[in-house]
Structure 1
Amino acid sequence: MFDNLTERLSKTLRNLRGQGRLTEQNIKDTLREVRMALLEADVALPVVREFIDRVRERAVGQEVLQSLTPGQALVKVVNDELVQMMGEHNDDLNLKTAPPAVILMAGLQGSGKTTSTAKLARWLKERRKKSVLVVSCDVYRPAAIEQLQTLAGEVGAEFYPSSSDQDPVEIARSAVEHGRRHGIDVVIVDTAGRLHIDDAMMDEIRRVHEAISPIETLFVVDSMTGQDAANTAKAFDQALPLTGVILTKADGDARGGAALSIRAITGKPIKFLGVGEKTAALEPFYPDRVASRILGMGDVLGLVEEAERKLDKDKAARLANKLKKGKRFDLEDFREQLQQMMGMGGLSGLMDKLPGMAELPQAVKNQVDDRELVRMVAIIDSMTPGERRHPDIIKGSRRRRIAAGSGTRVQDVNKLLKQFTQMQKMMKKMSKGGMAKMMRGLKGRLPTGLPF
């Protein structure tokens, strides 16, 4: 996420960190580079100008020039202003109303409204423990209603049926009434999109809004459209009282222009980021964490929260106890670790949140492929229980059988076993001297045993 911007800004600001003294000239040179980085990221020009002016004002003042570590102080100023640009804090969903709380989803066709509706339903069920009803008012796009019905089943939300011959206003009104009668906590209304903003579309969504009076009206927009996303959001806001934005496809957005422009142009907060195709791939938007990731400083807090939610604590405790008793780390344990890593978004998801990853050579980043994790699990699945517990018995003929069973090559099996051996050694160090000893042994390098 935001790879190009992260790489450019990290490189620019890294040059300042070691400087004992800042002058107006090197501040000027740095801000020129920051300005170019933001423009290349497709951040709107007025937003860039205002950002640079604010940073310059603070940078040439006493705050930075009299600092004991002025290079670090300037990095902090840039970080603070990025946070300010994106909205300072997370704007939570407002559900404080007599149930059902109604959420209206708006946006152009192809922005990911229907998928985001399902993702939001899942998020509300899992994180807020709410009962959720979803309904589609999209009577124009073929199979839109069926798509939402399928996704609702996947996330465990109740689906209110509708058909293409019904009036969207009546569909929405009936769904909200159904939610009220059956004690549903939240009703999410998915509306029709268009390829562009037109009068008919705006008139219809205004009528739906008037009929159901939603407490939240969320604009769903594709982050990869850059500053156009902010301009489209502004046009919608003039026709509809938006309360926030869901920025989709952020995992594929190497630039970051939409995330940095929307709040400044529309005044509306980004409430969620869509970070993948799966229904679990929705994150609340925290400006401070996103700014930290943009500057290559990772998002350790987000990583810890994700681990708390997704890692199986019982399995982790069993593994720790096993190692403590001096038992060997085997391929069953290795497979479990790989599956847990996949559950946390794979290697690319982890790297995005780890500090310092922006400084890795591009050649290393290019080798990170989450499909490798799937391949490794398939290889281990093709082994017998005895082979997983006693990897030493896996010799030539067994390796050929495992490769054939997993649809891979013998070289792939050899590579996995080598990575497993390296991970086994690392786990042995942990059991003898704890995490601190292992980290000292790594000396700042990425651990071996990872699939790249």
Structure 2
Amino acid sequence: MFEELSQRFEAAAKSLRGQDKINETNIEIALKDVRRSLLAADVSLSVVKPFLATVREQALGAEVVRGVSPDQQFIKLVHDALVEVMGGANVPLNQAPSGPSVILLAGLQGAGKTTAAAKLGLHLKEKRLRPLLVAADVYRPAAIDQLRTLGSQIGVDVFSLGPDERPETIASAGVSKAREEGFDAVLVDTAGRLQIDGEMMAEMVRIRTATSPHEVLLVVDAMIGQEAAVLTRAFHEQVGITGAVLTKLDGDSRGGAALSIRQVSGAPIKFVGIGEKVEALQPFHPERMASRILGMGDVLTLVEKAAKEVKVADMEKMQKKLMEARFDFADFLQQMRLIKRMGSLGSLMKMIPGMAKIDDGLLRQGEAQVKRVEAMIGSMTEAERKQPDLLAASPSRRRRIAAGSGHSAAQVDKMLADFQRMGSLMQKMSRGGFPGGGPGGGFPGMPPSGPGDMPVLPQPSRAGTGGRGKGGMAAHTRPKAGRKRKGFADL
């Protein structure tokens, strides 16, 4: 979603290239480009003005560093200012000193509150906490059924008294149930409206009074642009929010909401939704988001995604197979399915530094090629998947696979040649000989020599897996007597 903003920031930095140092004249030219880029990205004017003032002050007062060009220094200053505007650092969920932590979700209709509640429920469950979802949206048709369905999918309990009870009564009863049955957290899904109105705010105040929440999270649709500032201010003044969840960050919105929420309310963005799947929720890290906005990538999030999906034992097994040149089609199919669980190839590639400028058309071709290769592997026998040499020695086998997958024999031949070259490349990578940059090299996940070649998914580092096994999921265990309760600060 930040592609256009990234391009405009890069254009602003280019105006400083070739300059000896930053001065009052050239900084004004660059800041005009930054101002236009922020306003075009739907950032609130009340945020843009202090942002520019901060960058100007820092730029003119910065010491000249040998070996650092003015455009590089400018990008660093903009990065630091972006981090500050978005909150400075990740802020964990507030936790109750005893009993369940109550989290109230508020926002307009269509922002994704119900889905956000389920995503947060899964996030807490993965951290060995026991959440309870409370269906307090009695107005939207099927809202209660939707939450029940989502709760069933992720294995989280859902509490409801039906559509005929008052929302504050349902929320209060849900908190009582959680306290009596030893739940660690309560996530209250409330009703939204098409626009801000007095009745909606009054109801939210009643629910807040009835539940005494430790968190009031405003769920904001990233697509609403400058309206994010108006919405945030209204909810904060009348209800009082402690944080925000920014949804639909994977869409084609301009990104202004991410830069406006913290500055307007003082409340931090705590989570971002990056897709429709229940697993598509991430803690918000301002420094990582600033790097993505400036096209610097986000390696830490990429590694966390991979670590969440891969078992340490599987990783070591795969590394051994690579070093011994025993990587087969079954392994490659497993890798492709791992990519799908982590997200689209395009979204993963743009987290790698230097890869943000990859043409979207090339990425789409790469994703299409992944699907074609998956179809070909699906037409292989189990023996052929585990012994690729069988295909190299048998044209008839390759013709059968071509017919079964709906592709030509030439395409299957090319796929096999690409696979053999990829095996050699990955073996070099596993031994520290990764060739980068030149023809036939490049980052894993992108075609070594063109869009028709086979993509490769890198293995994550062992650090960060937490030893929890596949998916980073750990079976929930209720707190035992004498065991230290896991804090939300650990999330």
Question: What TM-score do you get using the length of structure 2 for normalisation?
Answer: 0.84
Residue 359 in structure 1 maps to residue 362 in structure 2? no
Residue matched to 1:298 = 297
Residue 384 in structure 1 maps to residue 381 in structure 2? yes
- Give aligned pairs, total: 446
**What is the identity, as a one-letter code, of the residue corresponding to 2:329?**
L
Change (3 A) 1:15 1:92: same
Residue matched to 1:339 = 337
SS of the residue 1:220 aligns to: strand
Q: Distance in 2 between matches of 1:144 and 1:412?
A: 48
Q: 1:39-88 CA deviation, whole Å, 9 max, x = no partner?
A: 11111122112211111111122x15566523322211111000111111
Please list, as runs of the form range in 1=range in 2, the aligned pairs for 1:414-425 lying within 5 A after superposition.
Answer: 416-425=415-424
Contact 2:85 2:259 in 1 (8 A): yes
SS of the residue 2:102 aligns to: strand
Q: Distance in 1 between matches of 2:134 and 2:415?
A: 46
Residue matched to 2:120 = 120
Contact 1:90 1:285 in 2 (8 A): yes
- 1:373 Cα deviation after fit: 3.7
Contact 2:15 2:26 in 1 (8 A): no
Residue matched to 1:33 = 33
Q: Distance in 2 between matches of 1:416 and 1:117?
A: 43
Residue 3 in structure 1 maps to residue 6 in structure 2? no
Residue matched to 1:166 = 165
SS of the residue 2:134 aligns to: strand
- 1:443 Cα deviation after fit: 6.0
Residue matched to 1:286 = 285
**What is the identity, as a one-letter code, of the residue corresponding to 1:286?**
H
Q: Distance in 2 between matches of 1:13 and 1:269?
A: 28
Please list, as runs of the form range in 1=range in 2, the aligned pairs for 1:22-421 lying within 5 A after superposition.
Answer: 22-61=22-61, 63-65=62-64, 68-69=67-68, 70-126=70-126, 128-324=127-323, 326-361=324-359, 363-365=361-363, 367=365, 369=367, 373-394=370-391, 397-399=396-398, 401-403=400-402, 405-406=404-405, 413=412, 416-421=415-420
- 1:422 Cα deviation after fit: 3.2
Q: Distance in 2 between matches of 1:64 and 1:378?
A: 57
**What is the identity, as a one-letter code, of the residue corresponding to 1:349?**
S
- 1:277 Cα deviation after fit: 0.7
Moved more, 107-116 or 70-79: 70-79
Q: 1:229-263 CA deviation, whole Å, 9 max, x = no partner?
A: 22112111121011000000001144111001111
Q: 1:176-226 CA deviation, whole Å, 9 max, x = no partner?
A: 111111011101110011111122211212111111111001110100111
Change (3 A) 1:425 1:68: closer
SS of the residue 1:357 aligns to: coil
Contact 2:415 2:454 in 1 (8 A): no
Q: Distance in 1 between matches of 2:253 and 2:63?
A: 30
Question: What TM-score do you get using the length of structure 1 for normalisation?
Answer: 0.91
Q: Distance in 1 between matches of 2:401 and 2:160?
A: 48
Higher relative helix content: 1
Residue matched to 2:432 = 435
Provide the aligned C-alpha RMSD in A.
2.5
Contact 1:229 1:258 in 2 (8 A): yes
- 1:396 Cα deviation after fit: 5.6
SS of the residue 1:314 aligns to: helix
Contact 2:370 2:454 in 1 (8 A): no
Change (3 A) 1:319 1:153: same
Change (3 A) 1:438 1:169: same
Change (3 A) 1:16 1:379: farther
Change (3 A) 1:279 1:358: same
Q: 1:321-352 CA deviation, whole Å, 9 max, x = no partner?
A: 1233x343221121122122222223123123
